[in-house]
Amino acid sequence: MDMEIPQSCDTFVVLPPLTKHGVVFGKNSDRPQNEIQEVVFYPASESSTSTKCTYIEIDAVKETKAVILSKPNWMWGAEMGANECGVAVGNEAIWTNDNDGEHDPHVKRLLGMDLVRLALERSSTADEALEIITKLLEKYGQGGPCSSTDLHFTYHNSFLIADPNGAWVLETSGKHWAAEKITSGYRNISNVLSITTKIDKKSDGLEEYAKLKSLWNGEGEFNFCEVFSGEKKPGDARYLAGKELLRKYTSLNTFRETDMFKVLRDKDSGICRTCENDFPTQGSQVSTLSSDRPSIHWFTATPDPSISVFKPFIFTKNAIISKHTVCPDNTSPHILYALHLKANTESNQVQELLQNMETNCVRELDQVIENVGEDLSEFDELLKDCVETEVKFYR
């Protein structure tokens, strides 16, 4: 029996002039029940001759960037993450009407999550990340089971790619794709195609391919969403609810990370999904991407952001994170995950303490980041300290 199509997974970006500082990126990662999501850090490195992704090996590059990733523990790729250059990427599952041959999502190729990690490891800007994903997509294709327990759970992918200067929405169907550049305002993606007629970059021969497959009659303006999903414009309720939340929270032009926390914690829209759900929110990320100050990346590393605490990470020369967000093997949960679930079934008083910790953390970082110089060594263990404080609260 095929796994239920997930009802959630949303990625957001808000840009100047609506923000207080820089570009604010946010994503909820909603995954199958009981799948563990870990937060891992990989320093910059020199690569070997090939890169072993979840299912296939691909050509390596000479050097990779330092990355922090929120990822299902069984796969190589990541649902979301950021790199040392201030690039953040998240992906969404989408389903299109083009699933034959080399576009068959059941065939093991690159997962959308592999493409997220590859883009982060190899890019210095959002433009570069877009080019890396599309080149790899065209060369290797996408596909393969996206669950370790259900081989029928497969899909194509859309991506939101951001850096301090702007963002791209990239939507795909097999090896074909369309991309929309976002330079101001806000944008969100969900489990539906959302690029219509504003296409700033696209795969070669996209329109000809659509005509060849009888997906488009060649008349009128080419509409990517309509051609590959049959919808003239995205009408999914959760996508529209996310758009409305962004409109609401950006109305004062002071949008910041705490506003993105609120968006990701919104239950009425279905954006935040509880631990009991078939597809709970297994992890969340918010990044403030800045060119004139250090970018700050916030991760929960635990399910359901409404009962989780966002903890900050800043890339430094000697950054380290806690072992408590990293799974010891492919089946066991990491310590923070296990303690978080236990605490929330016992409904103790830890929730209020953790909320205070998050509030204090935001306030203290605000004060420090304003005056920070070149030396960022005071942030080497920022995420580690926060995680270990949270673990102490639970124990």
Residues annotated as part of the active site: 9
Residues 82, 83, 87, 92, CA torsion sign: negative
Find tokens 């509030």 and name the residue.
359
Dump strand ranges (E) for 174-324. Answer: 176-182, 186-189, 201-202, 281-289, 296-299, 311-313
Residues 203, 207, 208, 211, CA torsion sign: positive
Residue 206 carries which DSSP code?
H
Comparing C-alpha atoms, which of 349, 362, 372, 221 is closest to residue 293? 372
Helices marked H in the chain: 112-122, 126-140, 206-212, 224-229, 237-249, 257-264, 335-346, 350-370, 382-394
How far apart CA 360 and CA 148 sit, in angstroms, is 38
**CA torsion angle 297 298 299 305 (round to 10):** -150
CA angle 254, 259, 264 (to 5 degrees): 150
Residue 306 carries which DSSP code?
G
Find tokens 């999550």 and name the residue.
113
**CA torsion angle 122 126 130 135 (round to 10):** -30
Contact 7, 279 (CB under 8 A): yes
**Burial (Cβ within 10 Å: 0-12, 13-18, ≥19) of residue 97:** exposed
State which amino acid sits at residue 204.
Answer: D
How far apart CA 277 and CA 272 sit, in angstroms, is 10
